[in-house]
Structure formats: C-alpha cells, structure tokens
Structure 1
C-alpha cells in the first residue's frame, strides 16, 4: 500500500462531481480518468459517500503541496491512501454487472468491446479527524483588536473569507464552521476573525459590569438594553458577539435574552490570570480567581480541564497554563509534547489533553496503551512515554 505522500501534488483542491464519475459494481466504487493516458484510478467509496453523490452533492479533495491529501464530504473528512490490487481492473464502456443482466440473456453470448482503461490500484478512504489546527493558525495571523486599534487601521495582514478557509483547511465545511464557533470567531467585513484575547476580555468585562450594575440575573440578560447601553463604547456587533460566545440566546415574550454560561466565563477569567505567569501557587490562584469572576459565580477546578495543569508534587502545589488548543494535532507529536512537559501522568491529568484525539473506535485507554507505558508509583497508576523524549 502506498502512502499519501505519493498522492499527486497537484491535488490542491479538486471536486468530484457525480456527473464526472462512472458507477461500477454494486455502486461501491467510482472511477475517474487519471493523468496517465489509458490508465484509470479507482476511488472506493463507502455507502454513505455513494449516497452523497447520488444526491447530487460533490466530494472535495483538499491539501497543499506539502500536505497529505484528504477527501471531504459536506460534514466528514477521509484519509486517502493508494492500495494495490492483485488483479488488473479493466474499464469497459457500457459494461453491465451480473445484477444488471437480465435472466433472458444467456451466458454463451460473447461480446467484443474496447477496453477504455485499466488500474492496478485504487484510492482507499478511511474516516479521520479533521485537520483543524491550521484554522486557528491562519486566523491568529491577524487577530481583531477593535475598530480603534492602530494595528487594525494600518494592518496589511491576511484576512480570510469562508471560501479561502475552505480552500486551505483540510476539513469538511460543517467541521470548519463548527470549529469557528469553538474558536469564538466572527465575520467582520466578510472575513473571519478571532478576537485578540485582551480585547475579548474587555468586551466581556463591559457586559458583566452592566449585568452587575442593573442587578440582572445571569440567566436573563436583555440584548436590546445591552446594545443600547454599551453601543457608545464598542460596536454593537461586538457586544452581541460576546453575548453569543459566552451565553445562550432565547426569546421570551418577543424579546431576545441571553443566559450567560458560568463555566465559560470562569474559564476565560482563569486564562487571563494564568497567561502571564509561568507558575502560580494553586491556593493563591484559587483565591484570586474567585475574587475576579462576577459576583454570584462560583469557580471550580473542573472548569480548567484542558486549559491548566496542576502540579501536586510541588510544595506548595502550583498551577500553570496548558491549553489543549496549543498542542500538536498528530497523535505521536501530541504525546511527545505532553511527556516533554511532564515525565509521568495519571490518567485523570492526561485525559483532557488527548480526548480530542479519540476517533469513533478509539478510547483514551486505547491511546494510552498504544503511545504510553503504565507503571505503579506510590500506589497510583501512572503513564510515561514508550520512547525516549528529547
């Protein structure tokens, strides 16, 4: 089986349209003319992908020259590899499968026809995780610092539309759009932008201060009054965006309200406190953290999963920022980074940092078995790297 490195580098973004594909036996595979004259490449599709084509939707091959090609439907991403076959596959115009032959036709009939192409291999597709790290990397090239920022007025840095992100990120459209929500990205003048974290916290502080001043419950924050009161300070679009990012919209008696999310607000506050400190005394941090969140909200250590790491072996115990979003996307590279940070991990500590690596058929236990070695230390099961970490 050949690796994805052998996929033609010219496959930057290609579309497979139903009209351009020829159905083969049992509708489990389709053929498309390859660059080599007379040779065809077979693309083996799962039934759900066949259904996509039969419904008139397209499949898209994505990948820059230095990336492995992937195939994307509207909502899923598939790894592409070339698999060799033991027999040569021949492509014959008008060929009928046994199921398509009528019972009245006898087996003795011999038909002479021209072979249109052949193939000794085919593209094998396997469902894989979308490659979304590049999405944040692209958007962080030019974070939005507000309309009055000097950098915004003079910036010539890249800005990306939806089509440009679809062109560069190896993931399906739905997976990309879902990740944009996770990143709290918004569209400004037709381009997707991530807010600069300091500016984001400034907007959030405006909203929480107004909630405190008006004595509103966090479960019922009126959109119209927020826009009216905070509009002179910041663009109304940004005020609404921060409400969407940290709350849940609902309608009550014709008015739009937001129920603010305590965990998201506490988590963002913790990130603000930790981002400028190498290590923080855990006890001191918990005290400062509780004092920093809006009155009426309660901080809990479980709100920091995948954001901060507690070192219980130090005296006093310390906490430091370790955001899962900043870790490598590749499985082995992820484990290498984690074991470079800490030699031994408990399952409870490492789980938030590898949970996103789990596929449909993988669990955290499966990943640990493959990439780590377990041992018992002071009566506690811990995991360390299977290979030397530089």
Structure 2
C-alpha cells in the first residue's frame, strides 16, 4: 500500500516563506518509501502494520526562538541553522529502524572517512571581515562560528533528511506523544493525518538556504557561557532549499463506500456470508486504505449507516435495510406507539424472531435518536430520514418520474402520520421544472466526483444552468472551514440573470 517518495512531491513554489507561528521538523529518511509511516514519540508505542514502511521517533524539540540547537544526547546529529531568517524548528526525528541513535545520524560511510584539515580563520581575519561588512563587533556576541562544507555534505543534501513544517497545535500533539500518519497508495497524492484532521502534503521551495550544523549553539547558550572572542570552527552537515508543507484539506472518503459495497450485508441467511473470499475490513484495514484521520473516518461510517459485524465494518444492502425499517414501522403502527417514543426492549422481543437483535437496534439507531426515560431505553424516529429513504426506494428503479405522480405515491408509501416534503430530498434527487410535465430523478451527491473541479464539470454537463438553491446541496461538502457556497460558485462558475432569477453556468467549455 505504500507509495513512492515521489508521490509526496507537489507543486513547488519558489520563495515560499514559513508561516508565522509554525515550526519545522527534520526527518532522517530510511529509504525511498515514506507513505503510510507513523510518526510517534516513543519506540515502545510502535504499532506499524505490515503496510507501514517505517516509524519515526521524536527526539527533542529545538528552542522556538533559536537559530540552531544542539542534540548532545545523540552525537553526530545535526541541528538546523536557518540562514538569514529568525525562528526555530520544531523537532528532530530519527528512525529506530536505522539502528542505534549513533548510526542513525550518519547518512553515509563518507562521514566516517578521514578528512583533510580545513583552513582555519584567525581572529584578525574575522575582525577584518566585520569591518568590510560595516558591522560593529560590540553589538554582536563575541563567539564566532566559522562554517565550512565537509566531504559528506553533498550526500547529506541529496535526500537523507527532509523538513516538515508543523502548525503549533500539531507540534504540541507531537510532543505529547500523539501519532501522525502519512497515507496514500502509489497512484494517490499523499496526505498527512492527525487524530482528527487531514492535510495535503506538498514540497515547497524556499529562497533561504537551510543549513544543518552539528553542535551549533543558540544565542542564549552562548550568553550563559560568557566566552570572550571564541572562534568555533563548524562543518556543515547538509543543506536544503525546500520543505514539506501542510495544507488543511477535506478527507478523501469516496473510496470508503466503494470498499464497503464490495460485500454489502444482506442478512445472516445470505449465502454470501459463507464465502470466505469476499472482502471484509476492520477499522485498522480502513485506516490503512482511506486518506482520512481516524475521527473523520468514524464520522463517515456513521453517515453511511455502516455497522460492525464480527469485528468487520459492513454496509447493509439497501433492500435488507428497507426490510428492517419496514419491520420497525409496522410494529409501531400495530402497537399504536408514538414515533417519538419507541421502546427498545419491546422491539427486540417482538422482532427478535424475525431478524438479529443487533440489526434491529442498528436500524433504530440509523433512523432514530436514542434516549432514556425512567430507566427504559427509547428511540425517537426521525420522520425526515424515513421519508428520504422511502423516496430513494421509489426513485432507484425509475430513470425519471412525473413529479406530481411521485409526490402522491411517496406520501402514500410513508408511515401514517408522517408528511413528505421536497426539501427532504436535498442531495438525493433533482427536480426539473423546465420540462413538461415536471419530473424528478435520482441524483445522489455520493455518486458525484470527489474533486472540486471534477464535481462542477459533472454538474454542468448534467444541466447547463443552475440556481443556487438547486446546486447548493451538491457542493456543500466541498466547502472548506472558512469557505462559503457563494465563494465556490464565484470561483468555478459564471452568474447571470434569467427571467429574473440568478443562475450559474460553467466557466469552462463542457463537452
């Protein structure tokens, strides 16, 4: 399942600077494969699955106000000294898979080879350089770092480490021992996942070269030492002109339904349940294949009305789901119960001989809200959900349905006491009021492309002009945290007024 390192590379942007308040992380690369790698703080917590390639361990956070840092616990490790910029970096990561801390820090054997003596600058040469640069030595710390490139620098810069920029909240999670996971197949753009969020992972260029210098001390450390006129000759371990950049993105969840529909649950008596070759997925399996955080994945499983059967996540086959719902609504009608107070215990007793109790309770959870009254568990059935799934049942076998006839049949098909409304079908069905007679047909938002541009292309190929009321349910899920439907329409469509109504059409030529 792991993708190649090249899958991590996105569009490079020259001159990209670090965002205020963000920190950067140095990673030592164990090999060309980086996808599905768990970032975590302690090697004792390693839980890499067979699909995971390596585990990264946080060693130490560098001071946020420093230009460099020191990792004295790991000789040979190289803190970062960002050239011509202020601010520090977040944490140095190493891979336990590389061996000991000492050996893990060495990118190649050339670092252990004897090196020719480097020329050493004298104090007089340093003072002369300061005069040429018109700098006042009294305004600077007395310690001077004289930098030189060693024979192993070119090898270290060729990919033995990489920088990862983290927002403060993510850095705090890393320090607290939380895990981060990079997910994606070979044909997918890699994403970076925390416990509850998903980020696009791309490489950004920076005009400021970042130098990796072992043993470089911070200004605060030098002040404490109170050295006078000290010259420190330092060899540069490596350098970088780019770093991994995180951008918050929507989780890529379309694949989830596709995987679960490979083996929809048709009931305990189905012959398919006896076939061991049919695909089944545990939570860990889904986390390994779906590009989403764990919380986002679990939330989508609820949206899909998935249930866990025998340790595997399953989607109920639609006809079986309708069968369970009919059992419940018929029992409510025969017992003259209120839809707002359906007792769980009696439902299980009455319907248990017909279907597994777990399935009856799951159906109640999908179409109702659970609550407790006088130590008894009840469910309040959601009329909108029941009307919606009934409409889906009627529309799935018809290409187009006369709107007036549909509304009449729909109202007759729902339980007595429930009222159907067209606004219950947002994101499920579309009404064409320009046809004569008016028609309605099934158009599920789940069946549309996941990408924003592809979604708009699909919608505009279906209908040339849309009102905001009609198109909103089909693009609502594309909006970011601070993005509105209006902003999306402005970016991906053109507006015009037709018969006094504002409509939107594609900015691109749709074939």
Band the TM-score falls in, shorter-chain normalisation: over 0.9
Name the Cα RMSD after superposition.
Answer: 2.2
Alignment counterpart, residue 172 of structure 2, candidates 17, 27, 51: 51
Partner residue of 2:250? 129
Query: How many residue pairs get matched?
Result: 389
Partner residue of 1:15? 38
* Structure 1: stretches of 5+ with no match in the other structure: none
CA positional deviation for 1:388: 1.2
Report the TM-score when normalising by structure 1.
0.94
Partner residue of 1:38? 156
Alignment of 1:232-251 (within 5 A): 232-251=353-372
CA positional deviation for 1:99: 5.6
Q: Higher relative contact order at CA 8 Å, sep ≥6: structure 1 or structure 2?
A: 2
Partner residue of 2:266? 145
CA positional deviation for 1:253: 1.1
Alignment of 1:1-390 (within 5 A): 6=9, 10-18=33-41, 20-21=57-58, 22-24=60-62, 26=64, 29-32=90-93, 37-39=155-157, 40-98=161-219, 102=223, 105=226, 108-154=229-275, 156-390=277-511
Contact 1:84 1:122 in 2 (8 A): yes
Find the aligned partners of 2:488 and 2:228 in 1 and give their Cα distance: 53
Find the aligned partners of 1:124 and 1:148 in 2 and give their Cα distance: 51
Find the aligned partners of 1:100 and 1:255 in 2 and give their Cα distance: 66
Which segment is superposed worse, 352-361 or 11-20?
A: 11-20
Find the aligned partners of 1:108 and 1:383 in 2 and give their Cα distance: 71
Find the aligned partners of 2:196 and 2:503 in 1 and give their Cα distance: 37
Find the aligned partners of 2:201 and 2:228 in 1 and give their Cα distance: 38
Partner of 2:231, secondary structure, is coil
Find the aligned partners of 2:269 and 2:434 in 1 and give their Cα distance: 46
CA positional deviation for 1:95: 3.8
Find the aligned partners of 2:505 and 2:184 in 1 and give their Cα distance: 34
Find the aligned partners of 2:480 and 2:221 in 1 and give their Cα distance: 38
CA positional deviation for 1:227: 0.7
* Structure 2: stretches of 5+ with no match in the other structure: 1-5, 11-30, 43-56, 65-87, 96-106, 109-154
Partner of 2:211, secondary structure, is strand
Find the aligned partners of 1:367 and 1:139 in 2 and give their Cα distance: 30
After superposition, the C-alpha distances for 1:41-91 in whole angstroms (9 at most, x for unaligned) are: 110000110111111101110011110010000000011110112232122
